[in-house]
């Protein structure tokens, strides 16, 4: 009897110990997971953004871009209004986009669009141009498309003592870490991304407006670098600690040697560039157009039906064509393919009955945004970059050939060379536009900002012909 009692007691104790052991194992595992998350690069940067709010759209408006309802043939008639389907800005030139529900319109384009640019020195140290910095883009560095961008801005409860709040917000950049990861980094990546074997990501934060909290006063003076044919200026952000720490990894990601100078420039109101070709009439826009680090004009418009029309011209293996390869600001729907190419002026208005104000901070719903549409967008090789992979796309090689023709540029040259204004163009798709001063001034008189929103309607005020470069000597 005593032996039986001891056996029962031992079994109970063993069961109790097993339960404790399982509980301890679960608790230990949870602690390890939480520890890995807390020290992960993404979590570290997110904690630095605790006084800011990420700007995100209410939904991803281009997820249905391949839907057949947008396949409106060129020249056909439509009953409904033309609307803004999606709005994008690209805070860092040639890096990932930020989608918005609404955007502030400024003289230089949409607020925060192309306000940063990476630049690199010459690879020929014997050259006279070795000390000159040249912007970089996906044209030569397609992996720049893998640098994802987030916009973070202060909110009503933000602490004024936070340096990032004082800087007006921040941009958070994230890209695949090119260094060989440790076991800990692999685990952190898998937990953060909820995917086993996920590639570790590296994140860093860039203040929107550099101040003496980040740079010495002497370092806040603009420096020169080159964007295509023109000299641009901006504040060299490369000495900011977080950016300086990220530069070596960015060099490795983009294929630059360690001895190359790579840095990040910030455009300021004092470093905007006057547009010098494809000029809009001053009678319409009021004063000369200016832009930051865009190639030429403040705002880029493109059409989902137009991209679908181009997509149908591609080889089967290159379909469907992702519209985001064309990096427009305003994506429109409801018009036939290429209808935007006849626009000379258009007005963006709230849908009838919409309660949303047309200015931030105001209640006046009558303010519209009028744009002068100045020229077609002449395309380069950038649309050939698959933004999800960071590689150039091409069609299947012909028999006996090792490489296929690049797409969609080959199709654009063949079918979309609709004018000869720019002989270097690889076809044309999309339109450049300039905001008109009268609407900006009206908003300013109300001490508010002019905005455009997803769902806004577009009224075409004037139509006409376009020829790239034909208005270069207008004034």
pLDDT in tens, 90-133: 999 999 999 999 999 999 999 999 999 999 998 766 555 556 89
Residue with structure tokens 């209640």? 363
In a domain, 232, yes or no: yes
What is the tens place of the pLDDT at every residue in 222-246? 999 999 989 999 999 999 999 999 9
Question: Do both 125 and 239 map to the same domain?
Answer: yes
Question: Do both 101 and 176 map to the same domain?
Answer: no
- Given a cut of 90, whether residue 361 has pLDDT beyond it is no
What is the tens place of the pLDDT at every residue in 325-343? 999 999 999 999 999 999 9
Q: Indicate the average pLDDT of the chain.
A: 89
Last residue of a domain, which of 266, 284, 313? 266
What is the tens place of the pLDDT at every residue in 377-389? 999 999 999 999 9
Residue 26 parent element (H or E): helix 2-39
- Given a cut of 60, whether residue 14 has pLDDT beyond it is no
Q: For 148-162, what is the mean pLDDT?
A: 94
In a domain, 4, yes or no: no
What is the tens place of the pLDDT at every residue in 458-469? 999 999 999 998
Q: Which residues contact 84 (CB under 8 A, 6 or more apart)?
A: 330, 331, 332, 348, 452, 453, 454, 455, 456, 458
CATH number at residue 320: 2.40.33.20
Reported as a pLDDT band with limits 50, 70 and 90, residue 25 is low
Last residue of a domain, which of 221, 245, 266? 266
DSSP state of 394: B
In a domain, 371, yes or no: yes
Reported as a pLDDT band with limits 50, 70 and 90, residue 17 is low
pLDDT of residue 364: 44
* Residue 46 vs residue 260, higher pLDDT: 260
What is the tens place of the pLDDT at every residue in 255-305? 999 999 999 999 999 999 999 889 999 999 999 999 999 998 999 999 999
Sheet with 52-54: strands ordered across: 52-54, 148-154, 170-176, 201-207
- Given a cut of 80, whether residue 16 has pLDDT beyond it is no
Range of the domain at 184: 20-49+116-266
Using alpha carbons, select from 347, 325, 120, 328 the residue that is nearest to residue 238: 120
* Residue 11 vs residue 272, higher pLDDT: 272
- pTM comes to 0.90
In a domain, 344, yes or no: yes
In a domain, 5, yes or no: no
In a domain, 151, yes or no: yes
Q: Which residues pair with 230 in a beta bridge?
A: 227
Question: Do both 374 and 239 map to the same domain?
Answer: no
Range in 225-229, 360-364, 417-421 with the lowest mean pLDDT: 360-364
- Given a cut of 60, whether residue 214 has pLDDT beyond it is yes
What is the tens place of the pLDDT at every residue in 62-98? 999 999 999 999 999 998 999 999 999 999 999 999 9
Question: Do both 302 and 404 map to the same domain?
Answer: yes
- Given a cut of 60, whether residue 3 has pLDDT beyond it is no
Q: For 247-257, what is the mean pLDDT?
A: 98
Give the pair of three-digit tokens for residue 236: 């060299």
What are residue 189's phi and psi, to 5 degrees?
Answer: -65, -40
Question: Do both 364 and 461 map to the same domain?
Answer: yes
Count other Cβ atoms within 10 Å, centred on residue 400.
5
In a domain, 411, yes or no: yes
CA atoms within 13 A on the CB side of 205: 25
Residue 342 parent element (H or E): none
pLDDT of residue 21: 67
Question: Do both 369 and 456 map to the same domain?
Answer: yes
What is the tens place of the pLDDT at every residue in 48-60? 999 999 999 999 9
Strands (E), 217-320: 223-227, 230-236, 262-266, 273-274, 290-291, 299-303
Q: Report yes or no: 294 and 266 within 8 Å, Cβ to Cβ.
A: no
Cα separation, 148 vs 201, whole angstroms: 10
What is the tens place of the pLDDT at every residue in 167-199? 999 999 999 999 988 888 788 777 777 888 889
In a domain, 13, yes or no: no
Strands (E), 21-147: 52-54, 82-89, 98-100, 102-106, 109-110, 116-120, 134-135
Q: Report yes or no: 112 and 95 within 8 Å, Cβ to Cβ.
A: no
3-state secondary structure of 410: helix
Last residue of a domain, which of 203, 235, 266? 266
Q: Which residues pair with 170 in a beta bridge?
A: 152, 207
Question: Do both 44 and 181 map to the same domain?
Answer: yes
Q: How many structural domains is the chain composed of?
A: 2
Q: Which residues contact 28 (CB under 8 A, 6 or more apart)?
A: none
Question: Do both 152 and 289 map to the same domain?
Answer: no
Q: What percent of the chain has pLDDT over 90?
A: 73
pLDDT of residue 212: 81
Helices then strands (H, E): number in the chain? Answer: 9, 25
Question: Do both 312 and 442 map to the same domain?
Answer: yes
Q: Report yes or no: 429 and 375 within 8 Å, Cβ to Cβ.
A: no
What are the C-alpha distances in Å from 241 to residues 214, 222, 284, 333?
A: 8, 19, 45, 43
């Amino acid at each position: 009897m005593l032996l039986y009692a001891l056996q029962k007691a031992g079994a109970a104790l063993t069961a109790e110990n097993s339960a404790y052991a399982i509980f301890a194992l679960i608790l230990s595992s949870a602690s390890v997971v939480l520890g890995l998350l807390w020290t992960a690069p993404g979590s570290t940067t997110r904690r630095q953004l605790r006084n800011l709010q990420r700007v995100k759209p209410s939904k991803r408006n281009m997820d249905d871009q391949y839907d057949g309802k947008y396949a409106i043939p060129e020249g056909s008639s439509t009953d409904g209004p033309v609307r803004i389907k999606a709005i994008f800005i690209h805070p860092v030139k040639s890096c990932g986009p930020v989608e918005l529900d609404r955007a502030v319109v400024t003289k230089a384009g949409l607020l925060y669009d192309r306000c940063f640019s990476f630049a690199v020195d010459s690879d020929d140290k014997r050259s006279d141009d070795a000390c000159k910095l040249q912007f970089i883009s996906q044209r030569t560095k397609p992996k720049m498309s893998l640098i994802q961008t987030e916009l973070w801005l202060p909110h009503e409860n933000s602490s004024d003592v936070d340096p990032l709040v004082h800087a007006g917000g921040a941009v958070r950049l994230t890209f695949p870490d090119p260094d060989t990861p440790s076991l800990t980094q692999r685990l952190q990546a898998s937990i953060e991304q909820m995917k086993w074997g996920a590639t570790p990501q590296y994140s860093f934060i860039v203040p929107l407006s550099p101040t003496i909290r980040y740079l010495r006063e002497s370092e806040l003076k603009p420096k020169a670098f080159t964007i295509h044919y023109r000299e641009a200026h901006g504040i060299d952000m490369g000495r900011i600690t977080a950016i300086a720490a990220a530069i070596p990894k960015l060099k490795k990601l983009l294929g630059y040697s360690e001895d190359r100078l790579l840095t990040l420039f910030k455009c300021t109101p004092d470093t905007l560039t006057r547009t010098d070709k494809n000029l809009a009439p001053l009678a319409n826009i009021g004063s000369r157009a200016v832009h930051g680090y865009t190639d030429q004009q403040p705002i880029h418009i493109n059409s989902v039906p137009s991209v679908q029309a181009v997509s149908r011209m591609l080889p089967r293996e290159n379909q469907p064509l992702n519209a985001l390869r064309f990096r427009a600001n305003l994506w429109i729907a409801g018009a036939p393919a290429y209808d935007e190419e006849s626009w000379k002026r258009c007005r963006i208005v709230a849908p009838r009955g919409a309660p949303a104000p047309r200015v931030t901070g105001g209640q006046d719903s009558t303010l519209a945004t009028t744009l002068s549409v100045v020229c077609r967008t002449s395309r380069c090789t950038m649309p050939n970059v698959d933004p999800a992979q960071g590689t150039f796309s091409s069609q299947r090689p012909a028999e006996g050939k090792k490489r296929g023709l690049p797409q969609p540029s080959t199709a654009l040259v063949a079918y979309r060379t609709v004018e000869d204004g720019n002989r270097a163009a690889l076809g044309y798709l999309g339109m450049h536009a300039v905001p008109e001063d009268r609407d900006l001034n009206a908003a300013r008189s109300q001490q508010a900002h002019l905005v455009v929103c997803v769902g806004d309607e577009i009224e075409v005020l004037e139509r006409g012909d376009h020829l790239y470069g034909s208005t270069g000597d207008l004034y």
